A and B are shown apart, each in its own frame.
Chain A
């Protein structure tokens, strides 16, 4: 069956019927453009008009849907699966050749280089250092992800340092390919099945039973999208690094320096990590509260109500100015807490928030949670 918004006809009508508008106010694109059109409710009106053939799909219409960061904030107060609808609509626009050029380009790169960054596949593990120890036989696999492998290599290194320090045996997949998240989020679903099959194949070959990733996008894709795409369970337990860190801290494998709290830290919840997967919001907070050297403060908008960083859903690639503006708003919110450090467990959020902070000349330092943990742990 074709993946299309027409599959969600009933839901689209239900939204257009209800028009409660609970999705409007905190929508990142609404906050940016402040127009009815740029809300879940407005987008559903447009989809209804498309279903009824009262308007034609045009580039202008398509752009409206590609601008959505699929952060899922609108879904908190909604019975309609809005994110799925908009992702499906993107698939329709892609088939009609109305996709964003940059999305098309990174898809080409994924096919050719197995990563969206136009980098050579040979260089995927170039960040590995001699002291990093992995065990090919281990049941725990580490899925590095493209952003960590090519753009935020510090994150990959820190993850390994933690695993090594905690003496957790793990294996690297070496020849992993892009998980497909950027394609799924931008309506290029057709290409992902092959990626899923390939990645699951090498995981099987390595005998991986449990797979950890430090990327929120990879986590959602491996956990939710792979089983859905292939129509069966993958047989692999997928966890995010924050879950593993939490375990290791609880079991005493990671110990932090006892010192007076000297740094104020705030935390940004990545949309793909919690809102999309229902992962417990308490997990990262337990980690932060366990570090004696920091004082953890919440932003006003946190957990389920956390505002998006602006990078997701292909927005950073396709509409970098929009992503930056949304990111700036989040930096302002972080600054309001008085924190010096903004922690997030997603390389994509980290990148965009860092770019936003730089463009604001903000002193806010953006770090990944693995970097924070390595700064304060004894072992």
Chain B
């Protein structure tokens, strides 16, 4: 039997190894886990706990590239059915200072689910109850409900659940709010932070916090619920959420245009708005990302794609389409043929069997790495150039840029993708360096290191840098984290550099 190559893989990636080794050794003490397990078994029904080797391995990874021949495993898997059960687990973990990893759909792209310090992994998916309240225009769902199931449930009442990640078939609500990722319908409705009205959270001490209500607007007190949005589980586990829902539009129409460059696209989108067209969805692809389709349509390979989704009555949609087409024409844009447009839109909404899409197959032969750095509008082009320079520098094949909208004006969220051969250790290390340099570049351009996928275990150092240079809120974040989670059990080894949390006094 060859040697296990488990958590030590970080040692080969200089960037963070020092942190992990210390923390790993500290808390992977077998005696502690024996005691923790005994207490869990005493307090939970038997089918809620697993320490089987294969279960631990199956939970030991997410969508983030993992080096060849490597695997993580959490120490204990817990599969709770209620908020109270989660609270019980968290209390025990807190008592023994054992790390907790909350688990949803398992498609995290920032190594946020890697059990880098071992610990208890809590799979929230057994908590998937969904209740729609059409009179209040809200849906109340448990943290483990999938976005697709919430959407389907709302549709039964003629309502639209406007959050729509590409991973919706598995992505869970709790995880979604915890990451605040990109949404297909983001242009009109925004990403989860704009949709959430109330939360139930199990705090790191095991207390159950309820914040917010079914009221759509409140000015009463701190917006505590926003503290847990994009917190990546560092401040607690979201077990229930009250979310806004909207009237379901009568019809949808998708359009796809090609433009010479991004500047024209941004200008055009602003022009659409001046005309009073507020699309459901605005999505931009750079020439590399749209190459497959421009080639299929026999168009120039350096076209930027702009996808627009309109919604409303047929008359309204046709009327808007007419205006859109005129505007696009005057900006020298081209409309793509319907079959190309359809096939492109299919990949964007993932509402289809991917096996029918050749583009998806291309992905599958490679692992994709997504540094989703965000930069101010004026810096996109510069970032785009740097992305290409960096990919070339590290010998990585770029897959292209996609820009999602968050809010009606051109408020971009980015996904800069490179293809990685994850069976090649050298290429894997080059990818890690590439990603770190992308983070660095985004900070230099006074942007953010992540526009939707989270910091996870991949970008802690640059997270700190961003929040001490672009802004100066790092210290306060650290204080809040230490206040809510004194033993640093939640998502230990992620988001915050563990060294900073280990210090007695926040500097």
Chain A residues contacting B63 (CB-CB under 8 Å) are 18-19
18 chain-A/chain-B pairs, Cβ below 8 angstroms: A18-B63, A19-B61, A19-B63, A20-B169, A21-B106, A21-B170, A24-B170, A25-B170, A35-B77, A37-B52, A45-B57, A49-B57, A52-B68, A54-B71, A55-B53, A64-B54, A78-B353, A79-B364
Interface of A toward B, CB cutoff 8 Å = 10, 13-14, 16-22, 24-25, 34-37, 41-42, 45-46, 49, 52-56, 60-61, 64, 75-80
Q: Which residue of B lies closest to A61 (CB)?
A: B54
Chain A residues contacting B55 (CB-CB under 8 Å) are 35-37
Question: Across the interface, do B361 and A79 meet the contact criterion of CB distance under 8 Å?
Answer: yes
Interface string of B105-149 (1 = CB under 8 A from A): 111000000000000000101100000000000000000001011
Interface string of B398-414 (1 = CB under 8 A from A): 00000000000000000
Number of residues of chain B lying within 8 A (CB) of chain A: 46
How far does the alpha carbon of A52 sit from the alpha carbon of B4 in the complex, in Å? 10
Question: Across the interface, do A46 and B69 meet the contact criterion of CB distance under 8 Å?
Answer: no
Question: Across the interface, do A19 and B1 meet the contact criterion of CB distance under 8 Å?
Answer: no
Leading 8 A-B pairs by shortest Cβ distance: A21-B170, A37-B58, A42-B58, A79-B355, A14-B364, A17-B367, A36-B58, A37-B55
Nearest-Cβ distance from residue A44 to partner chain B, whole angstroms: 9
| B316 within 8 Å of A (CB atoms) | no
Question: Across the interface, do B107 and A20 meet the contact criterion of CB distance under 8 Å?
Answer: yes
Chain B residues contacting A49 (CB-CB under 8 Å) are 57, 71
| B360 within 8 Å of A (CB atoms) | yes
Prevailing SS type, chain B contact patch: loop
Question: Across the interface, do B422 and A35 meet the contact criterion of CB distance under 8 Å?
Answer: no
| B22 within 8 Å of A (CB atoms) | no
Contact of B126 among A16, A34, A37, A80 (CB under 8 A): A34
Chain B residues contacting A46 (CB-CB under 8 Å) are 54, 57-58
Chain A residues contacting B146 (CB-CB under 8 Å) are 25
Chain A residues contacting B169 (CB-CB under 8 Å) are 20-22, 24-25, 77
Between A25, A35, A55, A61, the greatest number of chain B beta carbons within 10 A of the residue's beta carbon is seen for: A35
How far does the alpha carbon of A34 sit from the alpha carbon of B103 in the complex, in Å? 13
Question: Across the interface, do A20 and B170 meet the contact criterion of CB distance under 8 Å?
Answer: yes
Chain B residues contacting A60 (CB-CB under 8 Å) are 52-54
Chain B residues contacting A18 (CB-CB under 8 Å) are 63, 363-364
Q: Which residue of B lies closest to A14 (CB)?
A: B364
How far does the alpha carbon of A14 sit from the alpha carbon of B361 in the complex, in Å? 9
Q: Which residue of A lies closest to B105 (CB)?
A: A21
Question: Across the interface, do A34 and B125 meet the contact criterion of CB distance under 8 Å?
Answer: yes
Chain B residues contacting A41 (CB-CB under 8 Å) are 106
How far does the alpha carbon of A34 sit from the alpha carbon of B68 in the complex, in Å? 28
Query: Which B residues between 56 and 75 are near A, CB-CB below 8 angstroms?
Result: 57-63, 68-69, 71
| B239 within 8 Å of A (CB atoms) | no
Question: Across the interface, do B4 and A54 meet the contact criterion of CB distance under 8 Å?
Answer: yes
Nearest-Cβ distance from residue A39 to partner chain B, whole angstroms: 8
Q: Which residue of A lies closest to B126 (CB)?
A: A34
Q: Which residue of A lies closest to B367 (CB)?
A: A17
| B348 within 8 Å of A (CB atoms) | no
Question: Across the interface, do B69 and A21 meet the contact criterion of CB distance under 8 Å?
Answer: no
Question: Across the interface, do B423 and A56 meet the contact criterion of CB distance under 8 Å?
Answer: no
Between A18, A41, A75, the greatest number of chain B beta carbons within 10 A of the residue's beta carbon is seen for: A18
| B249 within 8 Å of A (CB atoms) | no
Question: Across the interface, do B59 and A79 meet the contact criterion of CB distance under 8 Å?
Answer: no
How far does the alpha carbon of A53 sit from the alpha carbon of B103 in the complex, in Å? 26
Q: Which residue of B lies closest to A54 (CB)?
A: B71
Question: Across the interface, do B54 and A53 meet the contact criterion of CB distance under 8 Å?
Answer: no
| B213 within 8 Å of A (CB atoms) | no
Contact of A19 among B103, B107, B365 (CB under 8 A): B107
Chain A residues contacting B61 (CB-CB under 8 Å) are 16, 19, 45
Chain B residues contacting A21 (CB-CB under 8 Å) are 105-107, 167, 169-170
Between A14, A54, A60, A80, the greatest number of chain B beta carbons within 10 A of the residue's beta carbon is seen for: A54
Q: Which residue of A lies closest to B366 (CB)?
A: A17
Chain B residues contacting A36 (CB-CB under 8 Å) are 55, 58-59, 103, 106, 123
Nearest-Cβ distance from residue B282 to partner chain A, whole angstroms: 24
Contact of A53 among B2, B353, B364 (CB under 8 A): B2
How far does the alpha carbon of A13 sit from the alpha carbon of B424 in the complex, in Å? 13
Question: Across the interface, do A77 and B355 meet the contact criterion of CB distance under 8 Å?
Answer: yes
| B341 within 8 Å of A (CB atoms) | no
Between A20, A34, A41, the greatest number of chain B beta carbons within 10 A of the residue's beta carbon is seen for: A20
| B255 within 8 Å of A (CB atoms) | no
Query: Which B residues between 13 and 60 are near A, CB-CB below 8 angstroms?
Result: 50, 52-55, 57-60
Chain A residues contacting B361 (CB-CB under 8 Å) are 79
How far does the alpha carbon of A19 sit from the alpha carbon of B170 in the complex, in Å? 10
